[in-house]
Structure 1
């Protein structure tokens, strides 16, 4: 009897083991088909959607002429159009160069800028620096600039190095109005000048 039971058990196991192996293989096959190969990179579709929503241009450059005949050019590291807004752009590492008819040159640098073509305005934000060929170096945290005329303003405090010495002021404007004799730089609101004679600089 004992031998018969053993023989039956062996016979059943011979049938059962292959069936178990078949079930396991079928399960692995079904699981492998359930995996979507594109699901292994879920960020891909999100990245595409972000770029479509926030249009992005690398290394943009623009040049033109102001209403007064001055040459102006803008370049940046990156330009984006947030949320698909038309007419409004945000720039990183902006540089603007103005070549005036008088022969002077003004170079503006800023960490960021918001450009509104409809309003004809650019707002420069973060470590804004202006260098002129006439010897002025000006720094502020925020400035605004017109896109078609020479009309630059710093509504907040500025620090400047000039041929006459160091200047601090609460505000500053640079204009080139047709009714004025060339471009003008005006410091206002608590202006302080530390005069340095030319002989001491040399």
Structure 2
């Protein structure tokens, strides 16, 4: 009796298991047909096109040393390649630091900068601030810089404060002297210095 009962149970299971498997497969097939592939993409078409065209890097940085031993570093919040132009990059909220071999430090900051590594060139634009460890703080609308050497140029008007007072000039440059032993901060084209002596300490 037990053997007959066991045989009947096995026979029923042989029928039920294939039926259950077919039921599961049919359910999966119906569910898969109910999914709309056009609604499965979480991004809008314009957003995808923008991501493909404009490569975006968050918190990029570049550091290096010049042949004269100066240390140069650039940091930014975001770096993009506008319109897919290879080699051309736009940085937002950029900060740059140059530490010369003789110990002078130059710090720059700007809201926008165009950087071209292949051309060894950077352009900092719109209210660029230059600060030095020797006491200068100058503002300009445009300052250009090499990436592999100390060569800062402001072809337009600069203004700010100097150790001796307030200073304005039509142009400014920072580069090594002809001998290369010292760093020169040069102001040219209608330089105006208003001397403000430091108050005598009591």
The two structures have a TM-score, normalised by structure 2, of 0.76
CA distance in 1, matches of 2:200, 2:90: 43
Q: Secondary structure at the match of 1:50?
A: helix
What is the CA-CA distance between 1:160 and the residue it aligns to?
Answer: 2.1
For residue 196 of structure 1, what is the aligned residue in structure 2? Answer: 196
**Structure 1: tracts of 5 or more residues without a match:** 1-32
For residue 145 of structure 1, what is the aligned residue in structure 2? Answer: 145
**Structure 2: tracts of 5 or more residues without a match:** 1-32
CA distance in 1, matches of 2:199, 2:136: 18
Deviation per residue, 1:13-50 (Å, 9 max, x gap): xxxxxxxxxxxxxxxxxxxx9x9573597952321221
CA distance in 2, matches of 1:179, 1:115: 29
What is the CA-CA distance between 1:178 and the residue it aligns to?
Answer: 5.8
The two structures have a TM-score, normalised by structure 1, of 0.76
Residue 129 (1) aligns with residue 129 (2): yes
Deviation per residue, 1:115-163 (Å, 9 max, x gap): 1112211000011001111111010111101111110011110002111
Structural mapping, 1:151-162, within 5 Å? 151-162=151-162
For residue 99 of structure 2, what is the aligned residue in structure 1? Answer: 99
Q: Secondary structure at the match of 2:44?
A: helix
Conservation of the 8 A alpha-carbon contact between 1:68 and 1:178: no
For residue 57 of structure 1, what is the aligned residue in structure 2? Answer: 57
Change beyond 3 A, Cα 1:112–1:201: farther
CA distance in 2, matches of 1:41, 1:200: 71
Which ranges of 4 or more aligned residues in structure 1 deviate by more than 3 Å? 35-43, 199-202
Give the alignment's Cα RMSD to 1 decimal.
2.3
Count of aligned pairs between the two proteins: 170
Conservation of the 8 A alpha-carbon contact between 1:163 and 1:198: no
What is the CA-CA distance between 1:171 and the residue it aligns to?
Answer: 0.5
